Amino acid sequence: MSFIELKNINKSFGKKNSKVDVLEDLNLSIEKGELVAIMGKSGSGKTTLLNILAGIDTPDSGEYLFDEKPMKIRNAADGVKFRRNNIGIVLQHFALINDFTVSENIEVGLWESGLSIVEKNKRIIEVMEQLQISDLKDKYPGKLSGGEKQRVAIGRAIICRPSLLLADEPTGSLDSSTEENIIKIIQDLNKTNGTTVIVVTHDDEVAKSCMRTIHLEKH
């Protein structure tokens, strides 16, 4: 069985006349250690799909198996717990906290982890080294470039050592040389840390850097 299995997933928004069927009978399998791109037109349901995978949203029908276990998200707290233990999320616009430094922003990913301060600090140092942002540790987001901000956001996402990293257009706000750097970092996390990664992208270069591409159709 695959690490992630979606079987006949349906998701729509709205009611009656204004109903939009976003995902229709979607089937998907992703193996542990894969680096997968998701492409599709605007409105084809890419973010909706990531939200379902992250337990932020639930499908109307169908089955979602994560690591061979059926997902059971009954309320918001279940989703928070699931993400805390399993998922890292990276977004296009970084979503950093402006009055936190780089290291404090990364530490956000360890809130409620239950780790000791010593262990937290050790991990923060390790992650900053891996992402080559140690020099920036006391800087505030307002003083960082887009690529630097995204590396901090990736640090926050991976510090809890998630088995699945979900990235929604992570290079969407970056120029092409910075994009290349972020792609390399994502590839390195996939290879070195063994993290399974799903990247939503509109960019062919990003998709080419992945092992395979899943195309969503617009309904």
In DSSP notation, 117-144 reads HHHHHHHHHHHHHHTT-GGGTT--GGGS
> How remote is the C-alpha of 46 from its chain's centroid?
12
Q: How far is the CB of 46 from Mg ion (least distance, A)?
A: 5
Q: Applying CB under 5 A, does 196 fall inside the site for Mg ion?
A: no
* Euclidean distance between CA atoms 163 and 190, whole angstroms: 10
Closest CA to 186 of 17, 26, 37: 37
Among 44, 47, 150, 201, binds Mg ion (CB under 5 A): 47
Closest CA to 109 of 150, 160, 54, 166: 160
Compare residues 47 and 201 and give the one whose CB is closer to Mg ion: 47
Q: Applying CB under 6 A, does 75 fall inside the site for ligand ATP?
A: no
Q: Applying CB under 6 A, does 209 fall inside the site for ligand ATP?
A: no
Q: Applying CB under 6 A, does 46 fall inside the site for ligand ATP?
A: yes
Q: How far is the CB of 92 from ligand ATP (least distance, A)?
A: 9
Compare residues 10 and 92 and give the one whose CB is closer to Mg ion: 92
> Which residues lie near ligand ATP (CB under 6 A)?
13-14, 20, 22, 40, 42-48
